[in-house]
Amino acid sequence: MVTAGNGSSEPSWVLRDWLAAVGLFAASAAVVLWQNAHVAVLWDLSYVLDTASRIALGQLPYRDFPLVHAPLTFLIQAAIVRLAGRVYFHHVLYVAAVGGLSTVLAWRIIFRSLLGRVQQPFAIALLLATPLAVLGIYCVFPFPSYDCDCACSILVAIYLLQRLSNHPPLLQAAAAGASLCFPLFFKQNIGLPFLAVSVVAILLLLGVASLRRQNASAPDPEIRTLFAVLAGAAAALLAALLLIHFTVGLGNYLHWTIQFAAQRRLPGFSDMLGVYRDPSLLWKLPSVAAGLLLLRTRFAKVRWAKIIALALLVAPFIYTLSSLLIYDDADERGDTLLALWPLLLILAAALALFNLIEQRRDLTLRRFLPIILLVAINGTLMSQQLWGSTYAIWPLLIILAADQIAFLAALEFPVSPVVLRPISPLAITTVLSLTLFVCGGFYIASEERLSYAQLPDAPPDHSTFPQLAGMATPGPYLSNFDELLRYAKANIPVSDGIVLLPGEDPFYFASGRAPQFPVLLFDPATDPYSPAQLAGEVQIHQIHWLIVKRELEINDDPTPEHEATLKALLPAFTLVTHLRAYDIYRR
């Protein structure tokens, strides 16, 4: 009832497992390190690093300053600052390690889910996990990010649930339940649906187990294990909420992370469904459906029918692979790769529903895992409008794909006196893995996901400041930032308050100064002030300096009502100097 895997204990690791784990970890970490060696988006870095820096200095989010995201990513980065100092390369090592670990976790989850369901589960699991070397949680977006950390915490929770045997120690079950809560405190739009549907699944299983117990077919340990999982989740959630309440105030936390965040970021329901309006679905879904139907006919024992069915099933992936030859534009290639998402999600949803109906007596957590993953993925995609967060959740999609591979492996056609397997799951896996690995490699090499920033085709630039060691990006942005840091060190007293518009650079992380204004990043999603309110807050907090960045790395200045904001602020300030990319004003 509670088993999330195949019901057996954790398979013992042998040499091939260790070699696979080390290889996957090293490959993913190497890609993340390579990414950081040539690209950085200052906009995203400043939000995480400056927020972490002010937390490391003792300022509390939600109480001392607004924060529209859950706290765990910022707390982890703040801990790195406190323990290892303000050096960016320490954060690079963190994301490389977490990226490698997540790929290993995804591989192990896939392997366990395939045990007893396919032949050659090790080979198929390794093939499916290989694309994560280039599409892992930190490969596409290689800087500290709450989305990526949240995806890792989901993988940890799934892995712990999978390890539950039929009668595990209650402490182990409680720990698995507690792990369900951690994604919520990394990223709300992923973690909240993940936790909610997990709890609903456990309650449903408890109800079924109670009914079977009345019929003497469900043992007491089964119900105790489910209660332990649920109790672990409840205890962890309660502990987290009490900690928030007694440190920063639960009302403050809910206001900024739920009410304000939803007001500024949550799209309309019609926009949320945009992910499923991809025109290519009009031929991809019929192609896959025709292949499946052909495998269920009496022709499945004929070689030509198998070949046609295989061709129909892999046609969407072959098309995606061929897009590298069809299109020269990186945007078109990226869109073709991302168009696999709605296809695989629809197929996964259909399979999950089919399994629940067809195998309704086997109500285990393993049967609910695809639904749990589907809800978490859709919560991510829909709240970000289409492709906003696919950079972090590729492992979740590939875990769903593994379930579909297992389904194909279970298809059989009875031919007396033997049972015929009409198609090889290894063949499907090879095509899928090759497509994702090759197209994913081109996708990250083009930095298409980072196209919201201006990344010129030039050698990466580096900072001369030791705090920014390990940070590199093409263009003049880091050298311009260095000039600002040198000017501030020489001319702006440490005790003076500063406001930087729009806040693109990790100024406080690099300089070690304590922020004296509540908002550091002026973006519609993070800035609660109107231009008039901002001018008033600048006066209340006795801000002495205003720094306006002219040459942004991000494509468009996101400052809400930019012209009106400057018009409200500038009368109280006098221009002091022009730097290459910044205007410096003093009150």
Query: Does pLDDT of 415 surpass 70?
Result: no
Cα(473)–Cα(29) distance, integer angstroms: 19
Quote the percentage of the chain above a pLDDT of 70. Answer: 90
Read off the pLDDT of residues 205-246 as tens digits, 9 standing for 90 and up. Answer: 888 777 766 665 555 667 888 899 999 999 999 999 999 999
Q: Given this model, what pLDDT does residue 10 score?
A: 65
Comparing CA positions, the residue from 377, 390, 382, 336 lying closest to residue 145 is 390
Read off the pLDDT of residues 16-49 as tens digits, 9 standing for 90 and up. Answer: 999 999 999 999 999 999 999 999 999 999 999 9
Q: Is residue 571 part of a domain?
A: yes
Instruction: Place 417 in a pLDDT band, splitting at 50, 70 and 90.
Output: very low
Instruction: Place 494 in a pLDDT band, splitting at 50, 70 and 90.
Output: very high
Q: Is residue 377 part of a domain?
A: yes
* Interval 535-561 mean pLDDT: 93
Q: Are residues 402 and 485 in the same domain?
A: no
Q: Given this model, what pLDDT does residue 419 score?
A: 47
Q: Are residues 116 and 228 in the same domain?
A: yes
* Interval 41-66 mean pLDDT: 96
Q: Are residues 486 and 545 in the same domain?
A: yes
Q: Is residue 110 part of a domain?
A: yes
Q: Is residue 379 part of a domain?
A: yes
Cα(350)–Cα(35) distance, integer angstroms: 37
Query: Does pLDDT of 75 surpass 80?
Result: yes
Q: Is residue 205 part of a domain?
A: yes
Torsion angles phi and psi, residue 239, rounded to 5: -60, -40
Query: Does pLDDT of 174 surpass 90?
Result: yes
What's the domain range around 97?
Answer: 15-265+339-410
Q: Decide if 32 contacts 141 (C-beta within 8 A).
A: no
Q: Are residues 396 and 471 in the same domain?
A: no
Comparing CA positions, the residue from 471, 525, 522, 516 lying closest to residue 492 is 516
Cα(515)–Cα(542) distance, integer angstroms: 12
Q: Is residue 301 part of a domain?
A: no
Amino acid identity of 128?
L
Q: Are residues 210 and 355 in the same domain?
A: yes
Q: Which of 391, 410, 429 represents a domain boundary (last residue)?
A: 410
* Interval 564-573 mean pLDDT: 94
Query: Does pLDDT of 179 surpass 90?
Result: yes
Q: Are residues 39 and 168 in the same domain?
A: yes
Q: Decide if 499 contacts 547 (C-beta within 8 A).
A: yes
Q: Decide if 551 contacts 476 (C-beta within 8 A).
A: yes
Q: Which residues contact 357 (CB under 8 A, 6 or more apart)?
A: none
Q: Are residues 490 and 358 in the same domain?
A: no
* Interval 120-140 mean pLDDT: 96
Q: Decide if 444 contacts 139 (C-beta within 8 A).
A: yes
Query: How many domains are contained in the chain?
Result: 2
What mean pLDDT, rounded, does the chain reach? Answer: 89
Using omega within 30 degrees of 0 as the cis cutoff, is the peptide bond preceding 502 cis? Answer: yes
Could you tell me the CA-to-CA distances from 74 to 163, 270, 320, 467 in Å, in that order? 30, 32, 37, 18
Q: Given this model, what pLDDT does residue 50 score?
A: 97
Q: Are residues 73 and 194 in the same domain?
A: yes
Kindly state the helix (H) or strand (E) to which residue 247 belongs, with its residue range.
helix 220-247
Q: Which of 394, 410, 426 represents a domain boundary (last residue)?
A: 410
Read off the pLDDT of residues 76-103 as tens digits, 9 standing for 90 and up. Answer: 999 999 999 999 999 999 999 999 999 9
Q: Are residues 177 and 86 in the same domain?
A: yes
Q: Which of 351, 376, 410 represents a domain boundary (last residue)?
A: 410
Q: Of the ranges 359-363, 511-515, 536-540, which one carries the lowest mean pLDDT score?
A: 359-363
Query: Does pLDDT of 2 surpass 60?
Result: no
Bridge-partner residues for 364, per DSSP? none
Q: Is residue 303 part of a domain?
A: no
Read off the pLDDT of residues 379-400 as tens digits, 9 standing for 90 and up. Answer: 887 665 545 567 899 999 999 9
Q: Which residues contact 35 (CB under 8 A, 6 or more apart)?
A: 139, 142, 444
Q: Are residues 356 and 476 in the same domain?
A: no
Q: Given this model, what pLDDT does residue 418 score?
A: 45
Q: Are residues 385 and 472 in the same domain?
A: no
Q: Of the ranges 257-261, 426-430, 476-480, which one carries the lowest mean pLDDT score?
A: 257-261
Q: Are residues 35 and 139 in the same domain?
A: yes
Q: Is residue 449 part of a domain?
A: no
Helix axes 281-295, 340-358, angle to 10 degrees: 40
Q: Given this model, what pLDDT does residue 416 score?
A: 45
Helix axes 121-129, 425-446, angle to 10 degrees: 20
Instruction: Place 421 in a pLDDT band, splitting at 50, 70 and 90.
Output: low
Quote the percentage of the chain above a pLDDT of 90. Answer: 68
